Amino acid sequence: MERKILVADDDQIVRKTLTDLLTYAGHKVTAVPDGESAIAQYEGHDMLITDYNMGMGMTGIDVIKEIKKKHPDYKIFLMSSDTGDVEKEALKEGAAEFLSKPVYPDVLHSAIKKHLSDENQQPA
């Protein structure tokens, strides 16, 4: 089933790679370069996949906190090459999944399937 997925990452190559991968898997993807854009555009999407470190602006943790204030059940995956404290904080703040970079396609697809199966579908 097609899902609407928002991807936020400051790295254009990562945005393009994830967009291509998710589109090929049958999803409709919107990609944005920063946290502010993610917050402005997440509504209408089934989930958000965001990077942790996006340059000078908001971090992925900041994005999670902002979205969770309004929509505590919204599905957000946080990606980072940093593990440990970042992963713990992301999960504490409400991330549905923490994905270590580089993100492997099978891990990503499994996580999406787990969180966006028909019985777990949330209104967009």
What percent of the chain shows pLDDT beyond 70?
Answer: 94
Residue 95: pLDDT above 90? yes
Residue 63: pLDDT above 50? yes
| Single-letter code of the amino acid located at 117 | S
Q: Provide the pairing of β-strand 75-80 with 97-100.
A: parallel
Task: Write the pLDDT tens digit of every residue in 47-61.
Answer: 999 999 998 889 999
Residue 79: pLDDT above 50? yes
Task: Write the pLDDT tens digit of every residue in 5-34.
Answer: 999 999 999 999 999 999 999 999 999 999
- With tokens 């898997």, the residue in question is 25
Kindly calculate the radius of gyration of the chain based on its CA atoms and give it in whole angstroms.
13
Residue 119: pLDDT above 70? no
User: 10 Å Cβ neighbour count for 31?
Assistant: 19
Q: What is the pLDDT of residue 121?
A: 47
Q: What is the DSSP letter of 118?
A: G
Q: What is the DSSP letter of 59?
A: -
With b meaning 16 or more CB within 10 Å and e meaning fewer, what string describes 90-119? beebbbbbbbeeebeeeebeebbeebbeee
Residue 124 — very low, low, confident or very high, per pLDDT cuts 50/70/90?
very low
Instruction: Round to whole Å and give the CA distance between 78 and 100.
Output: 9
What percent of the chain shows pLDDT beyond 90?
Answer: 86
Q: Tell me the pLDDT of the chain averaged across its residues.
A: 92
Where do the structural domains in the chain lie, given as residue ranges?
Answer: 4-112
Homologous superfamily of 4-112 = Response regulator (3.40.50.2300)
Helix (H) or strand (E) holding 112: helix 105-115
